[in-house]
Amino acid sequence: MVLSETAARIKNMEIRGAGRIARAAVEALRDHADTLDSSSLDTFRREMRAAADILLSTRPTAVSLPNAIRYVMAPLETASTLSGARQAIRERAEAFIRSSLHAVDRIAEIGARHISDGDTLLTHCNSEAALACIVEAHRQGKEIEVYATEVRPRRQGLLTIRTLNDAGIATNYIVDSAVRHFIKDIDLVLVGADAIAVNGAVVNKIGTAPIALAAHEVRTSVIVAAETYKFAPRTILGERIEIEERDASEVLPRETAESLPHVRVRNPVFDVTPAAYVDLIITEKGAIPPELAYTIIREYLGWSIEEFR
Ligand code: RI2
């Protein structure tokens, strides 16, 4: 698949989920580097940067995308030959994909420890990392039941219930607005993340923040499953994570919207859950309270405050 095709599929959400987006983007960069017929290292650098920009512009919120691209593109700065640059990009892309998949497995192992026999869980949207924890707990023989939300407007909940059903996990499918009604029956909320700020705030699918608020009210724990590359280094500088707002037609058919000239349909697809409503973040390096987000950025992503000076 050519790079522009991957970019289009990420943009229209045929490829979605923060981890999958990152892996698809680095795969596209690797293949692009392999096929470019650049006349010099400088041209190669320019063409690769342009390709990275196309991928970066697809979805603004999932920080896994710029983090993965930064990692794969780093050798461009130091390589002294074109073939060396190409080779280094290929190696980094493959290393990223391998470690990303391994991270999900590790998160599953660590996350499953926080799920007890007899627990009723609630999950929102379709997170590979969060679902891996649930499926692993079930695989270990823990008797669990899950509430999965519909996730308007794109209904990613349908993907979630398919996975849970196929794993043989007792699942309840509910509309998003039913969360507060059921929250008293829930022992643990387990969700994924598209980005995590240095202050431990979690950016995830729209509707996550009210779920966390409802959980907080009844003292139900909220756990976030997220690979270290979902932490957003630039938030160290106070940079805000952009919340993607998608087309109104995802919410209302265009003709209906056009018949209502005084109505503006809003479609933000993520919200921000403050650290105070998050009990634990499970990463592949271990479980941390949200307040320790900075250590992940510094130690595992290799970004330090000095880099911004
Ligand atoms: P994994 C998804 O975003 C959801 O918000 C999900 O919680 C998050 O990415 C993380 O997913 P979207 O692409 O990386 O559906 O854990 O907008 O799969």
Q: What is the CATH number for 99?
A: 1.20.120.420
- Residue 238's alpha-carbon distances to 56, 61, 65, 292, 305, in angstroms, are 20, 15, 19, 16, 11
| pTM, to two decimals | 0.96
End position of a domain, from candidates 105, 133, 159: 105
- Residue 191's alpha-carbon distances to 35, 155, 258, in angstroms, are 38, 15, 35
* Residues 144 and 120 placed together within one structural domain of the fold: yes
pLDDT tens, position by position, 100-132: 999 999 999 999 999 999 999 999 999 999 999
Written as six digits, the tokens of 68 are: 């993965």
pLDDT higher at 58 or 307: 58
Query: For 36-57, what is the mean pLDDT?
Result: 97
Query: For 39-68, what is the mean pLDDT?
Result: 97
Query: For 133-139, what is the mean pLDDT?
Result: 98
Within 8 A by CB and 6+ apart from 24, the residues are: 6, 9, 10, 15
* Residues 127 and 52 placed together within one structural domain of the fold: no
Query: For 206-220, what is the mean pLDDT?
Result: 98
| Cα 41 to middle of ligand 1, angstroms | 36
Taking residue 42's Cβ as centre, other Cβ atoms within 10 Å add up to 10
Q: Are 164 and 228 in contact (CB under 8 A)?
A: no
Q: Measuring CA to CA, which residue among 80, 79, 75 is closest to residue 30?
A: 75
- Residue 160's alpha-carbon distances to 127, 229, 250, in angstroms, are 8, 22, 19
Q: Are 254 and 245 in contact (CB under 8 A)?
A: no
Mean pLDDT for the chain overall: 96
Q: Are 173 and 89 in contact (CB under 8 A)?
A: no
Active-site residue identified among 119, 133, 194, 279: 194
> Residues 156, 135, 99, CA angle at the centre, nearest 5°?
85
| Cα 55 to middle of ligand 1, angstroms | 17
* Residues 77 and 118 placed together within one structural domain of the fold: no
* Residues 216 and 286 placed together within one structural domain of the fold: yes
| Cα 204 to middle of ligand 1, angstroms | 7
* Residues 95 and 184 placed together within one structural domain of the fold: no
Q: Are 49 and 29 in contact (CB under 8 A)?
A: no
* Residues 273 and 176 placed together within one structural domain of the fold: yes
* Residues 149 and 294 placed together within one structural domain of the fold: yes
The Cα–Cα gap between 135 and 142 comes to 10
Residue with the smallest CA separation from ligand 1 atom 9 is 17
Q: Which atom of ligand 1 is nearest to the CA of 226?
A: 16
What's CA 169's distance to the chain center, in Å?
23
Q: Is the pLDDT of residue 181 over 60?
A: yes
Q: Determine whether 194 is an active site residue.
A: yes
* Residues 89 and 124 placed together within one structural domain of the fold: no
* Residues 176 and 50 placed together within one structural domain of the fold: no
Q: Determine whether 105 is an active site residue.
A: no
Residue with the smallest CA separation from ligand 1 atom 12 is 17
Q: Are 60 and 102 in contact (CB under 8 A)?
A: no
Residue 304 pLDDT class (50, 70, 90 cuts): low
Number of compact structural domains in the chain: 2
* Residues 213 and 248 placed together within one structural domain of the fold: yes
Q: Which domain holds residue 9?
A: 3-105
Residue 306 pLDDT class (50, 70, 90 cuts): low
End position of a domain, from candidates 105, 140, 165: 105
Report the pLDDT value the prediction gives residue 115, as an integer from 0 to 100: 98
End position of a domain, from candidates 41, 73, 105: 105
Give the CATH number of the domain where residue 302 resides: 3.40.50.10470
* Residues 118 and 149 placed together within one structural domain of the fold: yes
Q: Name the maximum alpha-carbon separation found in the chain.
A: 64
Q: Is the pLDDT of residue 308 over 90?
A: no
Active-site residue identified among 53, 105, 119, 125: 125
Residue 300 pLDDT class (50, 70, 90 cuts): confident
Residue ranges lining ligand 1, Cβ < 6 Å: 16-19, 125, 127-129, 156, 191-194, 204-205, 269
Q: Are strands 188-191 and 120-123 parallel, antiparallel or unpaired?
A: parallel
| Cα 127 to middle of ligand 1, angstroms | 5
* Residues 132 and 92 placed together within one structural domain of the fold: no
